[in-house]
């Protein structure tokens, strides 16, 4: 009945009900009541916070810009670190190659 409120459980409950032998005549009314509770909860939240919806949208927009900046900074840092490691590895490889060659 409350499987809608737990992510992932919604897809597991119907097969489990079938494996446990729950009859359709018992399962469907319980599932319908659960569906109604789930829909009513989100409708109630929407009604309760409807006057703050514009503010919430602006907060989400600002958070998106901030998170994009953080993601870009992490990407630049990661790329710079990989480039530095690659150059250091190439320098080591070059030294190894030069020491292996005997110029005489």
What's the pLDDT score for residue 10? 82
pLDDT tier for residue 98 given thresholds of 50, 70 and 90: low
pLDDT tier for residue 96 given thresholds of 50, 70 and 90: low
pLDDT tens digits, 2-45: 788 888 888 888 898 899 998 989 989 988 998 899 999 989 88
Which residue, chain included where needed, has tokens 């958070």?
A: 63
pTM above 0.85, yes or no: no
Is the CB of residue 81 less than 8 Å from the CB of residue 89? no
Using a CB cutoff of 8 Å and minimum separation of 24, what contacts does 29-38 make? 30/1, 31/1, 33/1, 34/1, 34/2, 34/3, 34/4, 35/4, 37/1, 37/2, 37/4, 38/4, 38/5
What's the pLDDT score for residue 76? 96
The dihedral of CA 60, 66, 72, 77: what is its sign?
Answer: negative
pLDDT tens digits, 44-73: 888 888 888 788 778 888 888 899 999 999
């Amino acid at each position: 009945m409350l499987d809608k409120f737990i992510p992932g459980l919604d897809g597991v409950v119907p097969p489990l009900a079938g494996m446990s032998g729950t009859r359709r005549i018992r399962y469907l009314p319980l599932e319908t009541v659960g569906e109604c509770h789930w829909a009513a909860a989100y409708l109630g939240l929407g009604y309760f916070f409807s006057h703050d919806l514009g503010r919430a949208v602006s907060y989400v927009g600002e958070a998106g810009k901030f998170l994009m900046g953080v993601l870009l900074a992490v990407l630049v840092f990661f790329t710079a670190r990989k480039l530095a490691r690659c150059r250091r590895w190439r320098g080591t490889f070059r030294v190894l190659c030069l020491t292996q060659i005997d110029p005489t």
